[in-house]
């Protein structure tokens, strides 16, 4: 199967498992909710993947993507400076980034297409196959819990992160 590299971020994130990507592609209500939370319009929030021409404002200011382009590499894990301070800081800021080191290891070892194939399974519901984000505790399609292998592994960290965000 051929995978779209537009949906594979240089930092090691899997775009189809991103809540903003999911919202942009198939969930207008979620997109509006995320946009309202961020104080921007749904169109400004829309994202078609980290390597696309349409990314969210946060990703427009990403240091990692232009750095990889400048160095002529596809993923941070291919860099002589991996993991750099910018990537370490980025990884530490949110729970959907917990597995970046594993992602880069797999991308370097097996290639991005095999990694994307594994990520599709990792973020998919074991009951119905729907891809869910790290922030979906129940499957968006069938309501199954946990929503994915990622969710099963990291729900505790995600819940703690969201609780801290709400208390701010």
User: Residue by residue, what is the 3-state secondary structure of 56-108?
Assistant: CHHHHCCCHHHHHHHHCCCCHHHCCCCCCHHHHHHHHCCHHHCCHHHHHHHHH
Closest CA to 25 of 4, 56, 55, 46: 46
Q: How far apart are the first and last CA of the chain?
A: 44
Domain total in the chain: 1
pLDDT of residue 65 exceeding 70, the answer is yes
Name the pLDDT band for 94 (thresholds 50, 70, 90): very high
pLDDT of residue 3 exceeding 90, the answer is no
What is the residue-averaged pLDDT of the chain?
A: 94
Residue 23: CB atoms within 10 A of its CB come to: 23
Q: How far is 153 from 115, CA to CA, in rounded Å?
A: 18
What's the mean pLDDT in 42-57? 92
The pLDDT of residue 59? 82
Q: How far is 21 from 31, CA to CA, in rounded Å?
A: 9
Percentage of the chain modeled with pLDDT above 90: 87
Q: Which domain holds residue 19?
A: 5-166
Could you report the per-residue pLDDT of 136-162, keeping only the tens digit for each?
999 999 999 999 999 999 999 999 999
């Amino acid at each position: 199967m051929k995978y779209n590299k537009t949906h594979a971020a240089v930092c090691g994130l899997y775009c189809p498992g991103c809540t903003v990507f999911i919202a942009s592609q198939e969930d207008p209500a979620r997109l509006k909710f995320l946009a309202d939370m961020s104080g921007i319009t749904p169109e400004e929030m829309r994202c078609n993947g980290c390597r696309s021409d349409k990314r969210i404002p946060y990703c427009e200011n990403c240091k990692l993507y232009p750095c990889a382009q400048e160095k002529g590499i596809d993923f941070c894990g291919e860099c002589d400076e991996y993991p750099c301070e910018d990537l370490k800081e980025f990884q530490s800021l949110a729970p959907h980034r917990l597995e970046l080191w594993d992602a880069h290891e797999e991308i370097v070892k097996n290639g991005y297409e095999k990694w994307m194939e594994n990520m599709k399974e990792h973020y998919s519901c074991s009951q119905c196959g729907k891809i869910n984000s790290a922030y979906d505790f129940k499957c968006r399609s069938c309501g199954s819990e946990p929503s994915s292998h990622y969710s099963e592994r990291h729900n505790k960290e995600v819940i703690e992160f969201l609780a801290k965000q709400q208390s701010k």
